């Protein structure tokens, strides 16, 4: 893998990845941000960071490491306080103009520090550990918001973020809205006894396709939306095999939107060996895709995702 020939192949790949990376990360806001910092520091010789936290009515400068965290902060109306996000933050669309500090599992400590934040929100998956320690040592107010994995943890997450941002009222509003979405779905589900089986497929370009089994976040949202998980005999993810899939014989296939795109769309999925021997392989309508973050982020749009999924698997109820 690291033979001289292999190395030049890798550097070519690296060049291609690099150009995408630059295209994706660089933006005008980046330059504005950097220019801002330069200005700040040329005026003052050495700005001090005060140890005491600022009163909540004053604007914070927040860095969000995690898609759900970013989404929640914006949903709480504090979007204009956000000065930097990680690359997995995709909602709302305005975040594409914000400075990116890297992937949340390997972000740049200096990058975060350079944005001069007063609050850094991260999940238990954020890292590296060294970077977190360094941010901590700089007194930049690190707060861990555990990634939500169901309705209760989603509510807790919103509440905690609301508390940190002094937006408790707004948080309760958001929670009520989420719970009403969820109640709506629950009602629809109880009224409707038909529970079609749904299987979540994780797809990635380059021939990677995996089936989500027990104890996955996908499983939970399927149940919530009135779908039924087939009898899995495995936990977590398992590489797709036509035999395994035929055995499960789901009625619907659920995928993340980006994942579906990366494997070549619905036709590609229908072409997978074994899919056409199941009920899910009947036609394209049996392949459902929902935005990645909305579906598995367990954020404020969780209820909407559940509703979307419910409607997709109950086409007979469509007006």
Partner 1 sequence: MTTTQAKSEASLQKKPAQQVSELLAGLQRKRKWMLSLFAVGASMSWLIACGLGAFEIAPERVLTIIFAKLQGSLPEELPADAAVLLGIRLPRTLFALVIGAGLGVAGAVLQGLFRNPLADPGLIGVSSGAAAGAVVMLYFTPNMNTQLAGLSADSLTAAGALLGGLTSVFFVYRLSTRAGYTSTVSMLLFGIAINTITGAGIGVFVYAADEARLRSITLWMMGSLASADWRALALTSCVTAACLFSLLRIAEPLNAFTLGEAQAVHLGIPVSTLKRKAILWCTLAVAVGVAFSGMIGFIGLVIPHLSRLILGPDHRAVLPASALLGAALLVLADTLARTVVSPAELPIGLVTSIIGAPFLIFLLMQKKEVTST
Binding site for partner 1 (CB under 8 A): 1-4, 6-8, 10-11, 14-15, 17-18, 21-22, 25-26, 30, 33-34, 37-38, 41, 46-51, 84, 87, 99-103, 105-106, 108-116, 124-134, 137-139, 202, 204, 208, 210, 237, 239
User: Could you tell me the smallest distance in angstroms from the CB atom of residue 135 to partner 1?
Assistant: 9
Give the nearer residue to partner 1 in terms of CB position, either 143 or 195. Answer: 143
User: Could you tell me the smallest distance in angstroms from the CB atom of residue 23 to partner 1?
Assistant: 10
The partner residues of 120 in beta bridges, in order of sequence, read 63, 142
The partner residues of 197 in beta bridges, in order of sequence, read 228
Give the nearer residue to partner 1 in terms of CB position, either 99 or 162. Answer: 99
Long-range contacts of 265-271 (CB under 8 A, 24+ apart): 269/201, 269/203
End-to-end CA distance of the chain: 56
Give the nearer residue to partner 1 in terms of CB position, either 168 or 217. Answer: 217
8 Å CB contact between 179 and 236: no
8 Å CB contact between 121 and 65: yes
Give the nearer residue to partner 1 in terms of CB position, either 31 or 284. Answer: 31
Residue (of 178, 174, 206) closest to 76 by Cα position: 174
User: Could you tell me the smallest distance in angstroms from the CB atom of residue 170 to partner 1?
Assistant: 28
Tokens describing residue 189 = 């589900």
120 phi and psi, to 5 degrees? -125, 115
Give the nearer residue to partner 1 in terms of CB position, either 5 or 191. Answer: 5
User: Could you tell me the smallest distance in angstroms from the CB atom of residue 166 to partner 1?
Assistant: 24
Residue (of 35, 98, 32, 104) closest to 67 by Cα position: 104
Give the nearer residue to partner 1 in terms of CB position, either 156 or 262. Answer: 262
| CA 175/CA 180 separation, integer angstroms | 8
User: Could you tell me the smallest distance in angstroms from the CB atom of residue 22 to partner 1?
Assistant: 6
CA 253 distance to own-chain centroid: 20
8 Å CB contact between 216 and 237: yes
Give the β-pairing of 237-239 and 208-212. antiparallel
Give the nearer residue to partner 1 in terms of CB position, either 48 or 319. Answer: 48
CA atoms within 13 A on the CB side of 15: 5
User: Could you tell me the smallest distance in angstroms from the CB atom of residue 168 to partner 1?
Assistant: 28
User: Could you tell me the smallest distance in angstroms from the CB atom of residue 252 to partner 1?
Assistant: 21
8 Å CB contact between 196 and 203: no
User: Could you tell me the smallest distance in angstroms from the CB atom of residue 310 to partner 1?
Assistant: 25
Give the nearer residue to partner 1 in terms of CB position, either 46 or 191. Answer: 46
């Amino acid at each position: 893998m690291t033979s001289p020939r292999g190395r030049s192949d890798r550097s070519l790949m690296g060049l291609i990845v690099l150009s995408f990376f630059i295209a994706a990360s660089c933006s005008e806001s980046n330059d504005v941000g950097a220019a801002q910092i330069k200005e700040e520091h040329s005026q003052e010789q050495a700005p001090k960071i005060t140890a005491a936290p600022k009163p909540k009515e004053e604007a914070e400068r927040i860095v969000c490491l995690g898609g759900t965290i970013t989404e929640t902060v914006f949903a709480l109306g504090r979007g204009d306080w956000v000065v930097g996000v990680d690359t997995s933050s995709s909602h709302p669309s305005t975040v594409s103009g914000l400075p990116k500090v890297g992937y949340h599992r390997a972000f740049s400590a200096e990058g975060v520090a350079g944005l001069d934040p007063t609050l850094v929100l991260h999940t238990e998956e954020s890292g590296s550990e060294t970077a977190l320690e360094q941010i901590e040592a700089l007194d930049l107010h690190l707060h861990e918001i555990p990634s939500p994995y169901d309705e209760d943890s989603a509510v807790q997450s919103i509440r905690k973020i609301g508390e940190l941002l002094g937006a408790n009222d707004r948080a309760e509003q958001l929670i009520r809205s989420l719970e009403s979405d969820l109640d709506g779905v629950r009602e629809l589900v109880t009224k409707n006894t038909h529970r079609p089986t749904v299987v979540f497929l994780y797809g990635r370009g380059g021939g990677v396709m995996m089936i989500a089994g027990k104890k996955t976040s996908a499983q939970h949202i399927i149940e919530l939306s009135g779908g039924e998980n087939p009898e899995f005999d495995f936990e977590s993810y398992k590489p797709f095999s036509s035999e395994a899939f035929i055995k499960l014989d789901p009625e619907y296939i659920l995928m993340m939107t980006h994942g579906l795109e990366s494997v070549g769309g619905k036709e590609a999925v229908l072409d997978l060996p074994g899919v056409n021997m199941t009920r899910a392989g009947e036609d394209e309508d049996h392949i459902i895709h929902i935005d990645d973050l909305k579906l598995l982020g367990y954020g404020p749009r969780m209820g909407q995702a559940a509703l979307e999924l419910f409607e997709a698997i109950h086409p007979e109820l469509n007006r």
